[in-house]
Amino acid sequence: MIAQLVLNGFVTGLLLALPALALTLTFGILKFPNFAIGAMLTFGAYAAWVANSLLGMPLAVAAVASAVVMALVAMLCDVLVYSRLRDRGSITLLVSSLGISLVLENICRFAFGNATRNFAFEVARPIRWHGLRINQEQLITAIVVIACVILIQLLLHASPLGRAMRAVADNPALAAVRGVERQTIARITWCIAGCLTALSGVLAGLDRAVDPLLGWNYQIPIFAAAILGGLGSPTGAIVGAIVIGLAEELSSLVLPTNYRQIVSFAVILLLLLVRNRGLFGGKAVRK
């Protein structure tokens, strides 16, 4: 029973890892938390659903298509909105991301209504292994997320682009002196964030179903994961996501399942009280 919960929690955590990673990457470069992350997830899920159910692509191809679409949408948001507001401070960016979140979510609602949609995808029997039930969706989630995480870590730590991204996150002025343009790096980061959230949208849609509030339901856990890891730390976001996933699943031992979302909120509050730098650095206190 507990082993099953741990397994489920681990997979839930992996699902959170991609958007938490996206959130933390954009925070590192642009120094504002993107409140549109949930809406981007929803939008990605709908993009995949359109490609999969309406255009008849296999789900894997649809997921790639949705990642490409979302990367473009994220870049478009940056070109049209974020880059124009970059000098106005993080609060303005924060509020503008709320605006973008409303726009993205309601484009989906306007086009497809509030009905829940499912991907055209064969449901397979769960695998049984030493008394554990492993769903096919869980297996897919684990493989996709672990692959993405390895790719991102390789990108960040073993490529010139990753070095440039880390340089801009660390000290934009110094990076600029060395010829690394913040604007270009910011755009590329938005593309990566778009891809990651779109993929997580597809995985979330597999796990639940696609509806306009899909991403909103993950919003607080995503933030909890990123804050737990220390906003701006990619490794921290992944570890944070797994901790949040485990905490949410294991909470069902003591709490009614309706209160799962409160767990993430409690983690955030507790963390801000006790260790406001998160697990992996980052500064939270103003003065």
Q: Which residues bind other proteins (CB under 8 A)?
A: 32-33, 35, 81, 84-85, 88, 90-92, 94-96, 98-103, 105-107, 109-110, 113-114, 212, 219-220, 223, 227, 231, 256, 258-259, 261-262, 264-265, 268-269, 272-273, 276, 283-287
Nearer Cβ to other proteins, position 205 or 230? 230
Whole-number minimum distance, CB 217 to other proteins, in Å? 9
Nearer Cβ to other proteins, position 12 or 264? 264
Buried-state track 237-262, b at ≥16 Cβ within 10 A, e below 16: bbbbbbbbbbbbbbbeeeeeeeebee
Whole-number minimum distance, CB 259 to other proteins, in Å? 7
Q: Is 142 exposed, middle or buried (0-12, 13-18, 19+ CB in 10 A)?
A: middle
Nearer Cβ to other proteins, position 86 or 182? 86
Whole-number minimum distance, CB 177 to other proteins, in Å? 27
Q: Measured between alpha carbons, how far is 52 from 13 in angstroms, rounded to an integer?
A: 25
Q: Measured between alpha carbons, how far is 192 from 213 in angstroms, rounded to an integer?
A: 23
Whole-number minimum distance, CB 180 to other proteins, in Å? 24
Q: Measured between alpha carbons, how far is 250 from 84 in angstroms, rounded to an integer?
A: 44
Nearer Cβ to other proteins, position 74 or 149? 74
Whole-number minimum distance, CB 261 to other proteins, in Å? 6
Q: Which residues contact 180 (CB under 8 A, 6 or more apart)?
A: 164, 167, 168
Cα first-last separation, the chain? 46
